[in-house]
Amino acid sequence: MSSVTFLGTGGGRMVVLNQLRKSGGFWLKLGEANILQDPGPGSLVMVHRLKLVPKDLDAIVLSHRHIDHSNDVNVMIESMTGGGFQPHGRLIVPSDCLNSDPVVLEYVRPFVEIIEINEGLKTTLNDIEIEFPIRTMHPVETYGVIYQWNSKRLGYIPDTEYFPKLSGAYKNIDYLIINVVRMKNDMSIRHLNITSAKKLINDIKPKLAILTHFGLQVLKASPEFQAKIITEETGITVMAAFDGMIQDLDDRESLENWV
Ligand SMILES: [Zn+2]
C-alpha cells in the first residue's frame, strides 16, 4: 500500500513559529520504500505521535535549507540510523545544505549515503525513480521532485514564486502536492499564492492535488474552502491537507480513508 502522511501543514514564519499548524513535512510510503520529505520543526515528534518508525526510512529528502523544511534533519538522520549505530539510507539534498553554514551537521554524514541534487538529477531507490525536474525560484537552492513507482507519479512543488516553466516540469503526474503560503501576491516573498497554485493545478492537471504549507493568510481564508473553489473552477479534485492526514495513493476511491 502507498500513502502520504502529513507531519505538518504549516508554512510561513507566523504559522510555524507559533505552531498554528505542525511543520514536520510529509512521509511517503511508496510500495516498500519510506521517504521523509522536508522534516521541519517537530518532525520527530509527529513521526512518533503517528506511530511511524524512523528506522523504516530509506531516504530523507530536503527541497531546500530553510528552517521550516530542514530543522529536524539531523535528529531524523540519527533516528533513522539508530543513533548512527546502524548506518543506512540516503540523504538527498541541495549542495547548499552541505557547504557554507550547513544545515546537515558533519558528524551525522557518515551515517547515510549523501546525494547532492542538481536540476535534472534522476536517481533510483529500490524500485522508485526519483527525479528533480526543476530548480524553483526561491532565495536559496530549491528543487521540485517527482517520485515514480508502480507506474504512478507524484510531484511536489515546494517553495517558489510562480514562473511559467514550472508547470511543464510536472507533466503526466497522478498526484500533486503543492505549497501555498499566501493568498495575495507579494514578489518580495517568493512564494506561491492561491491564484498561482490554481493556475499550476489547472495547467498540470493531476488526478488529485493536495494543498499544504499554509501561511497565516491561507489559514484565515480556510484552506478547505480554497480547495473547494479550485475544484469547482478547474474540475480537478483538490484537497487541503491537515496535520496527521493520511492519503492513500493506491486507490483514489478510498479518499475517506483518513485518520
Ligand atoms: Zn523556503
Q: What is the CATH number of the domain that holds 52?
A: 3.60.15.10
Q: How far is the CA of 66 from the centre of ligand 1 (A)?
A: 5
Q: How far is the CA of 64 from the centre of ligand 1 (A)?
A: 7
Cβ(199)–Cβ(231) below 8 Å: no
Residue-level pLDDT at 175: 98
Owning domain of residue 168: 3-250
Specify if 258 maps to a domain: no
Specify if 259 maps to a domain: no
Specify if 151 maps to a domain: yes
Q: How far is the CA of 4 from the centre of ligand 1 (A)?
A: 21
Residue-level pLDDT at 181: 92
Specify if 256 maps to a domain: no
Helix (H) or strand (E) holding 92: strand 90-94
Specify if 186 maps to a domain: yes
Q: How far is the CA of 198 from the centre of ligand 1 (A)?
A: 20
pLDDT reading at 200 higher than 60: yes
Phi, psi of 227 (to 5 degrees): -60, -40
Q: How far is the CA of 251 from the centre of ligand 1 (A)?
A: 31
Residue 252 pLDDT level (bands cut at 50, 70, 90): low
Ion ligand 1 neighbours (CB, 5 A) are: 66, 159
Q: Contacts by 231-237 with C-beta closer than 8 Å and gap 24+?
A: 233/198, 233/202, 234/198, 234/201, 234/202, 236/201, 236/202, 236/205, 236/206, 236/207, 236/208, 236/209, 237/207, 237/208, 237/209
Q: How far is the CA of 104 from the centre of ligand 1 (A)?
A: 16
pLDDT reading at 188 higher than 70: no
Specify if 257 maps to a domain: no
Specify if 70 maps to a domain: yes
pLDDT reading at 256 higher than 50: no
Number of domains in the chain: 1
Would the pTM of this model clear 0.85, i.e. be above it? yes
Q: How far is the CA of 229 from the centre of ligand 1 (A)?
A: 26
Q: How far is the CA of 158 from the centre of ligand 1 (A)?
A: 8
